Structure 1
Amino acid sequence: MRKLILSLVAAVLASIVIVGWSISHYAQQHETKVASRATAERLQALKLVGSNFAQILDDNHIANQQQAHLSLINSWNRHNPEQLSLINQDQFPLPPSLKMQFIHDGQLLLQSDEGVSLHYLLPNTSQVLNIYTNIIPVVPQSHNINMIYTALFYIGIVIILLLWVSPLIKQLLNLSKATQSFGMGDLKQRIPIAKYSYISEIEQEFNGMADRIQQLLDDNKLLSRAVSHDLKTPIARLRFGIEALEETDNEQLKLKYFSRLNHDLDSMEELVSTLLSYARLDQANIQPELAPLELNAWLKSKMASYTLDKHDLQFVPNPTPVWVHSDVMYLSMQVGNLLSNAERFGQQQIKVQLTQRGNVATLRIDDDGKGIDEQEAMQVIKPFVRGQQSRGNAGHGMGLAIVNRIGDWMGSPLSIHRSTELGGASMRLTFNTLKNKKTDQV
């Protein structure tokens, strides 16, 4: 994880510095070249104009037309940003070296902070034509200044980047620590998911994976303990029965022993079947076929096919249709286990009632038995855990565990309460109802 974080930061910083520096350098060079080219072209044009203008003003035919010269210069100055002036040669002082060059070449280019100026010697009139411009020579900026500005820019980019990356780095480190702790055996290790986490989906997947692994290991432990505990008794009875068969010649006793052996085999077969049924109820291996289902009509059909010999079964439907998303097979398994549980522990009455409040529907299966204590409600939904009231009754303590397991991943969770009407247990399944479902679809 450390290598990933370092490589991520290094790659981003290197990309910003290399690409940004290259673009900045290219833009600066390009801008300098363009400015220099434009300045050179403008100066060349001014030199040509100044040379021609100097020849016109120095022409012998108009050498004495001073007023015409001034009028021409004033007309130029009114229509152009470059300003002309005409002065006597002795009014244009120069250092000796530049003066000799000026007399020899007849023209001179000078540079100052105010701009570039062009000067032309008029030998016939002993005058100097001056052209003053606002052209500032393009001088490359100091390399040190550029380095400072560039460094400040990239420092700002790095600070912004670190402010963005630091939460991601923290989340990746938390994920690494949680994974390492979970791998070392801390099965309760989970990742707290922040509201604005960049990797919330990965964190949720990790927590879901950890829950499934922990559930699988817990189930394996329960199954191992159940097999070792619950199978010992029928195996011991089988062993004693076989020994008794070997020691007796009485045909009636043999038939009695054979009957007991068959009963013990049935008990073992029932236990193994229950274990396999529970083991198959793994969310990762089950793909429920969820479809719209109208609970009133379905429960009415279910109650009609369910016969009880010693109990009065009453069904109270909801006044209006109740539509939910459910799998008929697994829902039937849930309701069947709850009805069997009510039949086993109830005395005379079982009441099934469907109600709806808002977008939540509740299916209640009440009995008139002794009920389940509040402190035992969270324990009896675990595999092979039986309440105090179930001592001496048949079963392996798997019915409510199967109902709870199905409800966890199918969206119909189980809750256990005390029945206010019948006094016994009240098993409740809750459903999220479908919206905008037509009531005439049955």
Structure 2
Amino acid sequence: MRKLIVSLVIAVLASIVILGWSISQYAQQHDSKVASVTTSERIQALRLAGSSFAQILDDQLGYPPTNLIDTWNEHNQEQLSLISEAQFPLPASLKAQFENDGQLLLQSDEGVSLHYRLPKTHQVLNIQTQLIPPEDQGLDLNKMYTALFYTGIVVILLLWVSPLIKQLLNLSKATKSFGMGNLQHRIKIQKSSYISEIEQEFNGMADRIQQLVDDNKLLSRAVSHDLKTPIARLRFGIEALEETDNEKLKLKYFSRLNHDLNSMEELVSTLLSYARLDQANIKPELEPIELNSWLQTKLASYSMDKHNLIFNPDADPIWVQSDPMYLSMQVGNLLSNAERFGQSTIKVQITTTEHTVILSVDDDGKGIDEQEAAQVIKPFVRGQQSRGNAGHGMGLAIVNRIGHWMGSPLTIHRSKELGGASMRLTFLINNNS
């Protein structure tokens, strides 16, 4: 996580520097071109004026030029001065150029200066200007603008990146806390979060892991509890077999041992069925199913000796998306539950609303209290009415687990007509079929 944050910050800062430098260079070149044109025009004008002025001063032999120079200096920024040629020392290369061309342009930190040679009077006319060379013009201003640009971009991007860094740090802390065993830790998701999808996936993963751990703990406790009784009976039965020579008692003990073995086998089979439902790689193969005809076929193959089975289909064909195999497991467990707790009548009914269809399995037993409804769908949890009945408390847990997969959740109510429990599966109607 730290590596991700560092790389993110480096990438942002690098993009800022590159972008700012590019814009700064472009602006500086553009300003230099404008400044260069303006300065060049002024220098060219001064050259022409200086040449004419030098010609006039050189032709006025014997006349003092002081008044003319003073008048110029009073009305112009460019200052004129007149010195003797001996007072204007130059290097040999520049001196030869000055004597040949008669004029010379020099640049310094103070500005550009123009110099003209007056051959008749052996003097030099100097024009001192404050024109800065184009490459130095506006240098300090460009630096200030560049600094302001960098500062502004950094502040804006840090304001944007800081919530992301905070969210990534929270995600890292939540992951470490969850890995240390705090399975209840979840991330508070905000609407403005940049990584809300990742946070939701983390919370979903945490919910699934916690559910798996809780199921394993529950299964471990239930197995240790439910297996103790048949194992103890097996031990007593074997000891009794060893101590008796009576053939009738041996047959009786063998019958009890077989019954205990069958109970253990049923428990192991139930555990394996529920364990398979916990595998994350199992996905239901949903397909369109016409619920009326499917239930008619399913109930026709389901035999009941002590109960009257009533089926009330819907008047119109009802299509739902479901997996036939897992739907059969759901309905089979609901029918077994109703047969175990019902007294004489079981009713299977289909009712529809605008967008949903409800498959209900009702019985005329004692029903399930509202306080127990949320508990009996957990594995190995049995309601008060189930005390003394056969079973391990896994049927409704399997129905509920499959319902979460296929989008057909289980709800528990009280049957208004029969008075017992009403187990209901809710499906979305498939209008495309």
Give the shorter-chain TM-score range: 0.7 to 0.9
2: CA distance, partners of 1:120 / 1:285: 95
CA contact (8 A) 1:366 1:424 kept: yes
- Displacement, 1:347? 1.1
Q: TM-score, normalised by structure 1?
A: 0.78
In the superposition, relative to structure 1, how do residues 98 and 434 fare at CA in structure 2: closer, same or farther (>3 Å)? farther
Structure 2 counterpart SS, 1:4 = helix
What amino acid maps onto 2:250 in structure 1?
K
What does the per-residue CA deviation read over 1:379-426, in whole Å, with 9 as the maximum and x for residues that have no partner?
A: 111111111111111101110011011111221111101111110001
Partner of 2:146: 150
- Displacement, 1:162? 1.7
Structure 2 counterpart SS, 1:97 = strand
Structure 2 counterpart SS, 1:297 = helix
Partner of 2:82: 96
Partner of 2:74: none
2: CA distance, partners of 1:230 / 1:392: 13
CA contact (8 A) 1:36 1:138 kept: yes
Partner of 2:236: 240
In the superposition, relative to structure 1, how do residues 191 and 98 fare at CA in structure 2: closer, same or farther (>3 Å)? farther
Structure 1 counterpart SS, 2:265 = helix
CA contact (8 A) 1:294 1:323 kept: yes
**Which residue of 257, 272, 275 maps to 1:276?**
272
What amino acid maps onto 1:413 in structure 2?
P
Structure 2 counterpart SS, 1:292 = strand
Partner of 1:350: 346
Q: Which moved more, 1:360-369 or 1:301-310?
A: 301-310
What amino acid maps onto 1:30 in structure 2?
Q
In the superposition, relative to structure 1, how do residues 109 and 239 fare at CA in structure 2: closer, same or farther (>3 Å)? closer
2: CA distance, partners of 1:422 / 1:98: 131
Partner of 2:15: 15
In the superposition, relative to structure 1, how do residues 309 and 211 fare at CA in structure 2: closer, same or farther (>3 Å)? same
**1:361 corresponds to 2:357:** yes
**1:333 corresponds to 2:329:** yes
- Displacement, 1:434? 2.0
What amino acid maps onto 1:20 in structure 2?
L
Superposition map of 1:29-428 within 5 A = 29-31=28-30, 34-35=33-34, 94-97=80-83, 138=134, 140-428=136-424
- Displacement, 1:230? 0.7
Q: What is the Cα-based RMSD across aligned positions, in Å?
A: 3.6
Q: Which moved more, 1:422-431 or 1:219-228?
A: 219-228
Q: Which moved more, 1:229-238 or 1:298-307?
A: 298-307
CA contact (8 A) 1:283 1:409 kept: no
1: CA distance, partners of 2:28 / 2:187: 52
2: CA distance, partners of 1:344 / 1:36: 99
Partner of 1:74: none
Q: Point out where structure 1 has 5 or more consecutive residues left out of the alignment.
A: 59-87, 124-134
What amino acid maps onto 2:30 in structure 1?
E
CA contact (8 A) 1:352 1:366 kept: yes
Structure 2 counterpart SS, 1:284 = coil
1: CA distance, partners of 2:99 / 2:283: 103
2: CA distance, partners of 1:317 / 1:346: 21
- Displacement, 1:289? 0.7
- Displacement, 1:193? 2.0
In the superposition, relative to structure 1, how do residues 294 and 196 fare at CA in structure 2: closer, same or farther (>3 Å)? farther
Structure 2 counterpart SS, 1:339 = helix
In the superposition, relative to structure 1, how do residues 98 and 420 fare at CA in structure 2: closer, same or farther (>3 Å)? farther
**Which residue of 423, 426, 429 maps to 1:430?**
426
Structure 2 counterpart SS, 1:163 = helix
- Displacement, 1:197? 2.1
2: CA distance, partners of 1:402 / 1:41: 91
**Percent of aligned positions that are identical:** 71
CA contact (8 A) 1:32 1:140 kept: no
CA contact (8 A) 1:222 1:384 kept: yes
CA contact (8 A) 2:69 2:81 kept: no
- Displacement, 1:319? 2.5
In the superposition, relative to structure 1, how do residues 258 and 119 fare at CA in structure 2: closer, same or farther (>3 Å)? same
- Displacement, 1:201? 2.2
Structure 2 counterpart SS, 1:285 = coil
